[in-house]
Chains A and B, each alone.
Chain A
């Protein structure tokens, strides 16, 4: 019992990681809500057609006041495209980070005229893994998967398919040329997440766009 002997002891912690992000996300959520603005977080691989779907969505929802937050590792390319439509847009460059996080959204939302916006579409960094772990303050999550990526993706990236409120299969115009089995894909998604509808959409031909727009409109109805 010498006072000078170093004592080793185990300290229980059991504290969740990334709570700092979650606190900012909760605050973002409250701010969006105070403006009556709904927020949709769109997650997908690079090249899945996120920006193309956004452009078609903006065209189809001209009666609504939309805003866009674009997340990319670098460049203004996507925001410049969106800006050509006259839609308020802010580009966030993550500077190497593989996902958007709540503090980035906090900075981006200050640039948007939230008091005028009914719906903010957030295009997350192209990645099926990391964005899932970071709450932004969104109301709903949408996962996009393009036909060329293949129907087996839920096996490889289960977390995203478990986390989303809607799955959109994009580039449906390519279905005749590729081996993407929509029924198998839908079965896998619903194996993980029976509540998420699976829509099949082509922004190019317009196939399925009405279903996607109808789903977005549903999100705008106040509960």
Chain B
């Protein structure tokens, strides 16, 4: 479990932007997490609830945008989502490809009340 460290990092970034934005409190936090980045939503929420009382982000809602893994076929350039054990390009049937999405891991934006 490393969601604790991640949640602390989320909180650090959120506090920084909230203070700079002159916020009285933060109501919503929008996160973008690729499915390859291996972080568990419920676990981040758990630590968030533990870490945020008495902070500017107390009671804020976490929104998780999960980004599906996408491959770009190295043979024909087709972009596609691998599905379980089906890693074949739908156009030319080559196996796998370069990962062009699915590794995202960032705070996209926050909603603040001033």
Q: Which residues of A contact B (CB under 8 A)?
A: 6-21, 96-99, 101, 129-130, 132-134, 152, 155, 158-159, 162, 187-188, 190-192, 194
Contact = CB atoms under 8 A, between A and B. Distances in A.
Contacts of A21: 5
B110 A11 contact: yes
A13 B5 contact: no
B64 interface: no
B2 A9 contact: no
Interface string B82-114: 101101000000011101000101111111111
Contacts of A17: 6, 9-10, 13, 105-107
B41 to A, nearest CB: 14
Say whether chain B's binding surface is mostly helix, strand, loop, or mixed. mixed
Q: Which of B10, B18, B96 has the most CB of A within 10 A?
A: B96
A188 B95 contact: yes
B5 A101 contact: yes
A98 to B, nearest CB: 6
B106 to A, nearest CB: 5
Contacts of B82: 158
